[in-house]
Structure 1
Amino acid sequence: MEYNHADLFEGVADAIGERVAVVCGDRRLTYAELDEHANRLAHHLETAGVRPGQHVAVQLYNGIEYAAALLATLKIRAVPINVNYRYVENELLYLYRDSDSVALLYDVEFEDRVAVVVARVPALAHLVAVGGAPSIPGAVAYDDALRAADGTRGFPSRSSGDTYIIYTGGTTGMPKGVMWSTGQLLLAFWNPTLPRPSRPEDVVALARDSGPLVMMPVAPLMHGAAQMATWIAWFMGATVVYTRRFDAADVWRTIEREKVNSLTVTGDAMAIPMADELARGAYDTSSLLAYVSTGAILTGTVRDRIQRLLPNTLIMDRFGSTESGSTAEAVAGSAPEKGLRFAPDVENVTVLDDALRPVEPGSGAIGQVARTGHIARGYYNDPEKTARTFPVVDGRRWLLTGDIATVEEDGSIAVYGRGSQAINTGGEKVFPEEVEAVLKGHPSVYDAVVTGVPDERWGNRVAAVVQPSGDAPSTADLDAHCRRELSGYKVPRVYAFVAEMKRSPAGKADYRWAARIASSAADGPT
């Protein structure tokens, strides 16, 4: 057995085959049933010509088919490629080509845009349609593919060096494929509350000996956080529960029905509507022990509200990235509006200055959060970005996360924000996350994204795109609110009000869109 996700899942399925592995709506499969399901899909892909190392794109909503697709591709040593299901034709064309995918599993709801794009990607030779009969010539219906395939294993041996790719980003540019080896990925995203395994068999033993946990990743599986939450759950022997798409009421109904113990969301974009729905409705949340946020900012006001609504649930705010794995936990009192502070819970996490030397704790020196050890290999098809992001210092390979930070005297890391999104105005640096958090603390603000717009005098002005909660507040009211919490140079000079904020399905801000909206507002009345 190797530190390979397919190896480990098969070991868990052999040990606890009768336990429920996955639930979505009224469908549920045991570990043994999911293993057989994935075997059939894997053999179908083999028969279609997919070979070890080749890439299989997955353009699906959450569901059993997505879980099976992850397993099936890894079983044959192929590589799953996550596709954002909101992508339009040009974005799909970029991703299909950049990822060099040779096969695609897609929901039939997306067939119109898929049909237009695949004709321009000759390498994408095999299509499998989920949820109905395909109309694209040569495409195969998912259920037909499974019926015709063998449900036993019979796969070649795998390696801990097999490749796993997660496409990430797209908030400031086109997404990049983060390449991992399965062994490094497993250990980088290992549950920090559990002892790290010393051999692969320890993972199976943990799953076998665990209690009947029920865990729910709320984010879409096209986001790395939900994929990693799924693997963590399976390697704890837990039942994984999905909703097909994010709907706050459906999430709470599912928690009540399935007696979910642990929930994973991605920041405010999910936490806010979930809190609104929980405040409106009457749901049984007595089973919920942990509410975990990762992959996006959770502001202090939102976290406090959730805690009031769920007084007996542990609220956890995790820090990490697709390239680094899960690395730290927010300390008491941490919040973007007050200062983000995280305590590393894995080794080899620090802050490196511009000379790539560790920042002295308590010195106040600024650098980038960095990690060595269990980190990604680099970016697929982008050696230049890989070299910049993963420098070698004194023979040790580091990941520079892009998060600007310093190290406090107690060893905790104070994070200011992403350097790539910082706004330079009059020689001062403004981090959008801090301003966004303050704005979202205003009772009339539902959501906010902060960006910069060009300014002849200052270089850039701070601008805020705001989704009101009800009637839009006045700019004077927002200005006064911000000035109570922020230095003057951080206060937005431009406001643009929108009916709905544009975010990714996982809740990440679309800063390119926000910059366009803010620039349009800057050209008109301020």
Structure 2
Amino acid sequence: MTQPLPRPWLSRYEAGVPQTFVPSSLTLPQLLERAASKYPDRTALSFIGAKTSYRQLWQDAGRFAAALQKMGVQKGDRVSIMLPNMPQFVVAFYGTLLAGAVAVNTSPMYTPSELEHQLTDSGSETLVMLDTFYPRYAEIAARVPVKRVLVTGVQDALPFPKSLLYPLKARKDGTWVKVPYGERTLSLTKVVASQAPNPQPVPISADDVALLQYTGGTTGVPKGAMLTHRNLVANCEQARGWMTDLRDGQEVTLAAIPFFHVYGMTVAMNLSILIGATVALVPNPRDLKMVLSQITASGATLFPGVPTLYNAINNHPDTPKHDLTCIRACISGSAPLLLETARRFKEITGGANLVEGYGLTEASPCTHTNPIFGAQKEGSIGLPMPGVDAVVVDDSGQPVQPGEVGELWVAGPMIMKGYWQRPDETAKTLREAFGHTWLMTGDMATMDEDGYFRIVDRKKDLIIAGGFNIYPREVEEALMTHPAVLEAAAVGLPDEYRGESVHAVVALKPGQSATEADLIAHCKGLLSAYKVPRSVEFRTELPKTAAMKILRRQLAQEAKAARGSTKASA
């Protein structure tokens, strides 16, 4: 019999957080149906002045499901959704699942070639997209399996007279696209309006695949993680158990983190529907003025986000003009939360609890987070959430001692079924051991005696200089304490003597100045000599994913290319 692994974190749970966890067998459509039954007249979605009640949202999802069925969409068929955070996304997502189909989250930032890969790999025959994105699809239409495209626009979700004025503004801004509607390209709004909200019942199991969520592809070709209804609902229930002070039917979630990103989809959309919250939709998280105005206009109480978003708010010139004290809790995910970012955000919001969490696409995604009100350990990702098992192992797959660095493995009801049509990749990522199916995260971590985990860094991002292991996050933490630094990333560059050397890429705050020598000197006071950057590159902005995660690997490739061209010219 397998000896159970220790769970020291259970003794550190806040009062009210369940020590044991059994996921329900609810499907995602049942979450929405239940919310519509309990809170029919409560605003489910708020979008630039337009409001959708839970009753209306449930009916619209039913109409969309009926429309898909009328077009021939069967159980298990894939429906790609390429939309920003807007009411149509939520309708399309839940309607797809209600029809028994599988949603495929598709980034609005995809290039035509990236879109072609995902549509082909997923076998999507239906694509729901924003009119602005249509030209990218048109480039690849002849090479993908898509049979029908349902197109919508921002104006379709706006109240009168904004619905009439928006196209005029889009034409003025040069963003208006004339879509060639026809037999295969249809208006989403007209299609939904033509249906009654009563699709044909489809038997849906909690173990059916609900979503193909493609990984970012930073380690190779993007793969579709197969996430089941049970995976996604369980993760919402785990988060609900962790946040002990959530008030069902009363919260307002500021949804700036994109829904097509697994973190935004689970924590901003699905969790909100689980608790009957109002979701204040922000279609573009880079529009900081809109983010700030929506916080105050909606009275947002929950604000899930990513470190770069919180950091941008900390440093935006309009932030002092807004009262952000309505925010009670924020869980930061997707990337490491630097200490300075958390400290300053808490200061400007009058004490909002901004805590670091951790997760992966393959885990639906949340696995760890710091206690909202209990003991938080700076720099840690906190404790495993209810129902999550976690262990740090050495290269042979054996648990290491507390405080020792190893690879983090996680297990629980939120772990994916596998990668879509890639059993070889699944076998490399999921492993049976200690009585569980483990997701091998590829992240280097430690666990202390209390069960708090720290991510040291990605295995593949490790910088090895002169035989010493250097974790980029540690260097970035040091850079971020400099008063002039807005954003920072540390990467490794080839070094003939050391093997690799640390190269820093930074963006400075508006109106601030610093030289390479200034930042290197600053780091010398905080880091061991071998960790100090040997070179510093200045940029106005660091490249980021659609979810505002800094593209460290892209920076490394560009820095290597620049160094190579410099040597060649010399």
Fold agreement, TM-score > 0.5: yes
* 1:5 alignment partner in structure 2: 28
Once the two structures are superposed, the pairs formed by residues 84-483 of structure 1 within 5 Å of their partners are: 84-121=107-144, 123-131=145-153, 134-135=179-180, 138-163=184-209, 164-192=211-239, 194=241, 210-229=248-267, 230-246=269-285, 247-267=287-307, 269-277=308-316, 280-324=319-363, 325-330=365-370, 334-335=377-378, 339-340=379-380, 342-346=382-386, 347-361=388-402, 364-374=403-413, 375-470=415-510, 472-483=513-524
* 2:166 alignment partner in structure 1: none
User: Whole-Å Cα distance in 2 between the matches of residues 521 and 466 of structure 1?
Assistant: 16
- The equivalent position to 2:45 in structure 1, one of 3, 6, 22, is 22
Distance 1:99-1:312 versus aligned 2 partners, 3 A rule: same
User: Whole-Å Cα distance in 1 between the matches of residues 197 and 239 of structure 2?
Assistant: 35
The SS at the match of 2:440 is strand
User: Whole-Å Cα distance in 2 between the matches of residues 417 and 218 of structure 1?
Assistant: 26
Distance 1:136-1:426 versus aligned 2 partners, 3 A rule: farther
Q: CA RMSD in A?
A: 2.4
Distance 1:489-1:388 versus aligned 2 partners, 3 A rule: same
Letter in 1 for 2:311: I
The SS at the match of 2:424 is helix
User: Whole-Å Cα distance in 2 between the matches of residues 235 and 340 of structure 1?
Assistant: 28
The 10-residue stretch of structure 1 (435-444 or 129-138) with the greater mean CA deviation from structure 2: 129-138
The SS at the match of 1:226 is helix
User: Whole-Å Cα distance in 2 between the matches of residues 467 and 377 of structure 1?
Assistant: 40
Question: Is residue 489 of structure 1 aligned with residue 534 of structure 2?
Answer: no
The Cα shift of 1:219 comes to 0.7
Distance 1:136-1:226 versus aligned 2 partners, 3 A rule: same
The Cα shift of 1:82 comes to 1.2
Aligned residues: 509
The 10-residue stretch of structure 1 (344-353 or 368-377) with the greater mean CA deviation from structure 2: 344-353
The 10-residue stretch of structure 1 (25-34 or 366-375) with the greater mean CA deviation from structure 2: 366-375
Task: Say whether the 8 Å CA contact 1:264–1:293 is kept in structure 2.
Answer: yes
The SS at the match of 2:477 is helix
The Cα shift of 1:456 comes to 2.7
User: Whole-Å Cα distance in 2 between the matches of residues 283 and 124 of structure 1?
Assistant: 45
Distance 1:334-1:519 versus aligned 2 partners, 3 A rule: farther
- The equivalent position to 2:559 in structure 1, one of 513, 518, 524, is 518
Task: Say whether the 8 Å CA contact 2:504–2:537 is kept in structure 1.
Answer: yes
Task: Say whether the 8 Å CA contact 1:7–1:158 is kept in structure 2.
Answer: no
The Cα shift of 1:334 comes to 4.2
Letter in 2 for 1:495: V
* 1:79 alignment partner in structure 2: 102
Task: Say whether the 8 Å CA contact 1:494–1:521 is kept in structure 2.
Answer: no
Task: Say whether the 8 Å CA contact 2:130–2:152 is kept in structure 1.
Answer: yes
Distance 1:105-1:518 versus aligned 2 partners, 3 A rule: same
Task: Say whether the 8 Å CA contact 2:356–2:382 is kept in structure 1.
Answer: no
User: Whole-Å Cα distance in 1 between the matches of residues 221 and 504 of structure 2?
Assistant: 23
Letter in 1 for 2:301: N
User: Whole-Å Cα distance in 1 between the matches of residues 305 and 417 of structure 2?
Assistant: 26
Distance 1:442-1:381 versus aligned 2 partners, 3 A rule: farther
The SS at the match of 2:304 is strand
Task: Say whether the 8 Å CA contact 1:252–1:278 is kept in structure 2.
Answer: no
Quote the sequence identity (%).
28
Task: Say whether the 8 Å CA contact 1:495–1:521 is kept in structure 2.
Answer: no
Letter in 1 for 2:188: Y
Task: Say whether the 8 Å CA contact 1:278–1:309 is kept in structure 2.
Answer: no
* 1:506 alignment partner in structure 2: 547
The SS at the match of 1:21 is strand
Distance 1:264-1:87 versus aligned 2 partners, 3 A rule: same
- CA distances 1:273-299 after superposition (whole Å, capped 9, x unpaired): 212237644213332211221122221
Task: Say whether the 8 Å CA contact 2:357–2:369 is kept in structure 1.
Answer: yes
Distance 1:279-1:144 versus aligned 2 partners, 3 A rule: closer
Structure 1: give runs of 5+ residues left out of the alignment: 197-205
The Cα shift of 1:120 comes to 1.2
Letter in 1 for 2:66: H
Structure 2: give runs of 5+ residues left out of the alignment: 1-23, 156-177
The Cα shift of 1:424 comes to 2.2
The SS at the match of 1:485 is coil
